[in-house]
Amino acid sequence: MFLARVIGSVVSTKKDDAMSGRKLLLLRPVLIDEEKPASFRPGQNTIVAVDGLGAGIGEMVLFCQGSSARMGAGMKSLPVDAAVVGIVDTVDVLGAKIYCSGEKDKD
């Protein structure tokens, strides 16, 4: 699993029938900054992921990729490579809370 920030959504009116009604989110992975472990640094790529949990823009989420993305409920038959599998409440690193949902980010 990986951490990411929801930075947008993707709308596709023409897609595989199995994907009908599925919410697609644009994710920017986040990494722990090696120089300042009490903060995040953005990843260099963006990911389109299926969301079955109702995550929103600005939220921190857990996502998985590859065959693991299809292990979630109702995903087995979907042609997906990434799926949101959790909405993050807090992240603690080396004893310091660096993310708490609902609070202004430190990074």
Residues 1-56 pLDDT 10s: 999 999 999 999 888 887 888 899 999 999 998 888 888 998 989 999 999 899 99
Q: What is the pTM of this model?
A: 0.86
Answer with the residue of higher pLDDT: 75 or 33. Answer: 33
**Domains assigned to the chain:** 2-100 (2.40.50.220)
Q: pLDDT-based confidence at 72, cuts 50/70/90?
A: low
Number of Cβ within a 10 Å radius of residue 21: 5
Q: Please give the Cα distance from 13 to 20 (Å, whole number).
A: 9
Confidence of residue 105 (pLDDT cuts 50, 70, 90): low
79, 18 Cβ separation under 8 angstroms: yes
Please give the backbone phi and psi of residue 92, each rounded to the nearest 5 degrees, phi first.
-115, 135
Cβ–Cβ < 8 Å for 63, 85 = yes
Give the model's confidence band at 95: pLDDT under 50 very low, under 70 low, under 90 confident, else very high.
confident
